Amino acid sequence: MGKIISLNKVALVGPMGAGKSTIGRLLANCLSLPFHDSDHVIEEKSGADIPWIFDVEGEEGFRDRETAVLESLLEEQKVVIATGGGIVLREKNRQLLQQADAVVYLKADTERLVQRTIKDKKRPLLQVDDPRQKILELLAQRDPLYCEVATHTVNTDSRSPKVIAQQIAATLTSL
Ligand code: S3P
C-alpha cells in the first residue's frame, strides 16, 4: 500500500498586503483545518495592538513575541498559519517553518502591494515619509528569504482570494 501523505500544517508567508490572512482563512476552510493569524495571536496574548508593541518594546520586542507565537502555533497538530510579513527575517523562524508540511509564498505585483498598504496606520514599518520606497526596500530584502522557506509560490494578482485558496488547496492535496 502507498504511503498516506497527510497535510496538517500549512504556513503562508509573503509581504504586507499580499492577502495572507484572507487567503489563509479561506484555505483553512477548504482543507478543513483550524486557522490562526500570527499577528492576531500576538495581539491576543499581549493584550495590546501591534503599533503599541512596536512603540513600547521596539521591533525587537515584537520579533521576540512573533517567534514565540510561531513556535507555539507550529506545535498544533493541525493548523493553517498566516504569518506576518517579517517572519522570515530571523533564522530561527526560517528553521521553525520547516516543521510545516507546506509553506506557501503569496506574491503580488509591487504596485498592488503599495496600493493596498500605503495608507495603513496599523503597520508600524510603513509609518515613514516615503512608504512606497520602504515597501520596495522590504521586498528587495525579503524576497530571497520568502523563496528560501517556500515549498510553493503563488501569484495573487489576477484571481479572487477564493479561487486562489481553492487552487492552493488542490495543489497541496494532490502532492
Ligand atoms: C510586518 C508585517 C505585519 C506585522 C508587523 C510587521 C513586517 O504583518 O507583523 O506590522 O515586518 O512586514 P502583515 O504582513 O500581516 O501586515
CB distance 139 to ligand 1 below 6 Å: no
Structural domains in the chain (count) = 1
116-172 pLDDT per residue, tens: 998 888 999 999 999 999 999 999 999 999 999 999 999 998 899 999 999 999 999
Rg over CA atoms, the chain: 16
CB distance 88 to ligand 1 below 6 Å: no
**Comparison of pLDDT for 157 and 72, the residue scoring more:** 72
Taking the centre of ligand 1 as the mean of its atom positions, its distance from the CA of residue 5, in whole angstroms, is 32
* Overall residue count recorded for the chain in this entry: 175
The phi-psi region of residue 86 (left if phi > 0; otherwise alpha if psi is between -120 and 50; otherwise beta) is alpha
CB distance 69 to ligand 1 below 6 Å: no
CB distance 124 to ligand 1 below 6 Å: yes
Q: Kindly state the average pLDDT of the residues 35-40.
A: 98
Residue 3 lies in a domain: no
Q: Residue 161: give the domain boundaries.
A: 9-173
Residue 112 sits in a domain of what CATH number? 3.40.50.300
